[in-house]
Amino acid sequence: MPRYALKIEYHGKPFAGWQKQRDVPSVQQAIEEALQKLEPDCAGIQGAGRTDAGVHAYAQVAHVDLQGDWQEFRLSEALNYHLKPNPVAILQAARVGDDFHARFDAIQRDYTYRLLSRRAPATHEAGLLWQINHALDVAAMQEAANHLIGKHDFTTFRSTICQAQSPIKTLDALNITEHARPYGTEYRFTIRARSFLHNQVRSFVGTLGRVGSGRWDPVNVKQALEAANRAACGPVCPAHGLYLAKVTYAHDPFL
């Protein structure tokens, strides 16, 4: 059976996350239902990452085995037709080898977190970023973030319901940039690693927000990390500011 990789964009608000679950809508279920309109016996898809409820994606990746020899553009167009009115889009479909696996072949995952500082409520981007009403100190947050780079026990920044076998992960990058807007300032957190723990990124951003607002010093983040205790973590920020931005493979299936 031919195998296809799918690059997927979605708005997370209507969904209980990526993974298919009983009695609640998921991104995986929406795509599988569209696939079954094309091939009723389609067994399902495998995604590169399990985004939580409310989390968005610029470029999630999944793979699927189909019976038909689909032309790639026709496959993406047909799926987008059947996905309506769900806020899910197949950006690209690509034929891949039978040994390609969207999850296990991924060597890097990039997440972006968007945070808007302004007093007036967001209108056009409501539900697409986290809004606060005060400015943040980017330099202090970056100094704190640098303590998190590398291989560590991230128990402090791990949800208590995380199912990962080990809290030890390697964080490759955590960069914070500031973007002036006509009304307000947007802060973007770019986080890169091979894999993440449950709620790890949102725990990072919420904790760094304490530094940015002056309630913590940068060294307090180092101390929280070394505590290896969930109680030492700052607040977990809302899901609706988080995006799965990119999944990297040794050989890009979409080139």
What does each C-alpha distance from 233 to 9, 68, 153, 208, 209 come to in angstroms?
A: 31, 50, 13, 10, 12
Query: Residue 30 and residue 24: Cα distance in Å, rounded?
Result: 11
Q: Decide if 169 contacts 193 (C-beta within 8 A).
A: yes
Catalytic residue at 110? Answer: no
DSSP secondary structure string, 75-92? HHHHHHHHHTTSSEEEEE
Active-site residue (options: 23, 52, 98, 172): 52
Which one, of 149, 146, 157, lies nearest residue 219 by Cα? 146
66 phi/psi in degrees, rounded to 5: -125, 155
Q: How far from chain centre, in Å, is Cα 90?
A: 16
Selection from 60, 22, 65 nearest residue 41 by Cα? 65
Of the candidates 83, 73, 95, 101, the one whose C-alpha atom is nearest the C-alpha of residue 34 is: 83
What SS3 class is residue 155? helix
Residue in the structure block whose two tokens are 């808007």: 116
How far is 219 from 235, CA to CA, in rounded Å?
17
Residues tagged active-site: 52
